[in-house]
Structure 1
Amino acid sequence: MTAALLLADPEPATRGYLERQLASDGFHVLQAAFGGEALALAERSRPDLVLCSELDLCARLREGEPGRTWNRDVPVIMLGPEEADAVDRVRAFQRGADDYLQSPVVYDELLARIRAVLRRVSPPAAEVVEVGDLTIDRLARVVAVHGETVHLAGKEFELLSALATEPHRVFTKDELLRDVWGYRSFTRTRTLDSHVSRLRQKLERKPGDHFVVNVWGVGYKLVE
């Protein structure tokens, strides 16, 4: 799946330049100018990595806030000012940054650091996933329930595979539309809901089977 990056920087020119370069290298980029906007996006879209220039935003991501549900462990790369020194870098690491890059940013170095951080935090996907009576063979693209093969359409399989990466986690609708269908902006669509309905019909073979659980107002998870 395409990695999603949250780019939080108050300078439109910086955001625009980095968004163009990162998108051309295959990333899905979410932009925010200020901390509050960035936190809302982090909660709504659950990015794979955050690039930010505000130390306070890094700290708030790590500490969390009452009633907010963003991933507090999301990796963060700080984009520090040109005049930053060793004290600034140490302070950033103490507040939760995973890496630090000083301005002016050299794009090739930033890209290498992003990929390195993502490699460290992303365990390789299991080739075969078993969740109760459900088995998913990613390489063969074969799904079975109670030992019986279930035939899925392409996007149905991709949706199921996405949910199976963390079967008990709630994936937001925006997150699934981005990762499975490649939507680059938030939009109203019944695409996800219709695929979920068909997926349930195919997977739930016996009384008591309950897959692709709807969490009202948020999204879906594979199982309770």
Structure 2
Amino acid sequence: MPNEAVLVVEQEEPVRSFLEQQLTDDGFEVLSADAARKAFELVEQAQPDLVLLDAVLPDASGFEVCSRLREGEPGRSWNRDVPVIMVSSRSEPVDRLRGFARGCDDYVAMPFMYEELLARMRAVLRRAGGPRRTVLAIDDLTIDLASRTVRVAGERVQLSAKEYELLIALAEEPERVFGKEELLRDVWGFRSLGRTRTLDSHASRLRRKLNSNDDPRYVLNEWGVGYRLVAAAA
């Protein structure tokens, strides 16, 4: 599969160098970045055919990067349907689900066999351009990940970009309480709790938009801990 361009986004130099060498030997044009900022520059400038994305980067989480690739950014232009494979040491089912919810096409846990990664890359590239339509449904709340549309009881709800990302984060495990530090890291890329007002204000607006009365069912505040999307089943 010669001449297809792959962007490797990986903060660990040994892993990045290994992938660069192996993929070059297999006929790919290889670009690389060790941080999110450089990755966005390259994905816009080079328009790669596929992105291999580390889930943990020094300046943002890979999950946030994937969301931003799918969403696009004002004043910047890239293919928002570019295939993305997350390559990560985070191998728990919740991490895989989080990756798919943010828009990745495949998720490969480390350590991995290079031959398996190559086979997955080729499969994703074959599927590229096909229909992408996945819908999350929680009670009467539906989230169309392809069109990024949200509906409650069939009525469309208009959300800002960060409100949508916060909703996706909570929808990955609707009944689980997500800590504020975790949400700030995965949605905003913050590394400390110093910006909790940002999270709280977005959660408050999201709650108002998803609920039609003063007894909210969605975006529940667990005081002193964080947020969950819906109450746990009795």
| TMscore range, shorter length | 0.5 to 0.7
TM-score using structure 2 length: 0.51
2:22 is the alignment partner of 1:10: no
Pick aligned residue for 1:117 from 98, 119, 124: 124
Q: Distance in 1 between matches of 2:76 and 2:28?
A: 25
Amino acid across the alignment from 2:124: V
CA deviation string 1:109-139 (max 9, x = no partner): 000000111111168xxxxxxxxxxxxxxxx
1:92 equivalent in alignment to 2:99: yes
The Cα RMSD (Å) is 1.3
Q: Give the alignment partner of residue 57 of structure 1, picking from 62, 65, 68.
A: 65
Tell me the distance in 2 between the aligned counterparts of 1:79 and 1:109.
12
Instruction: Measure how far apart 1:105 and its partner are.
Output: 2.2
Q: Give the aligned residue type for 1:22.
A: L
Counterpart for residue 69 of structure 1: 77
Letter paired with 2:84: V
1:19 match = 20
Taking a change above 3 Å as real, the CA distance of residues 73 and 36 of structure 1, as seen in their structure-2 partners, is same
2:108 equivalent to 1:107: no
Distance of 2:128 and 2:39 partners within structure 1: 21
Give the AA of the match of 1:40.
E
CA distance in 2 between counterparts of 1:4 and 1:113 reads 15
Identity of aligned residues (%): 52
Return the alpha-carbon distance in structure 2 between the equivalents of residues 73 and 62 of structure 1.
7
Q: Does residue 1:78 correspond to 2:78, yes or no? A: no
Distance 1:43 1:90 in 2: 27
- Equivalences for residues 176-215 of structure 1 within 5 A: none
State how far apart, in whole Å, the 1-side matches of 2:28 and 2:102 are: 26
Asked which structure has the greater CA Rg, the reply is: 1
Structure 1 stretches lacking a partner, 5+ long: 124-224
Q: Which runs of 4+ in 1 moved over 6 A?
A: none
Pick closer, same or farther for the CA change 1:33–1:101 going to 2, 3 Å: same
Whole-angstrom distance in 2 between the partners of 1:20 and 1:122: 27
Which whole-Å CA distance do the structure 2 matches of 1:4 and 1:50 have between them? 9
> Which amino acid in the other structure matches residue 76 of structure 1?
V
What is the count of residue pairs matched by the alignment?
122
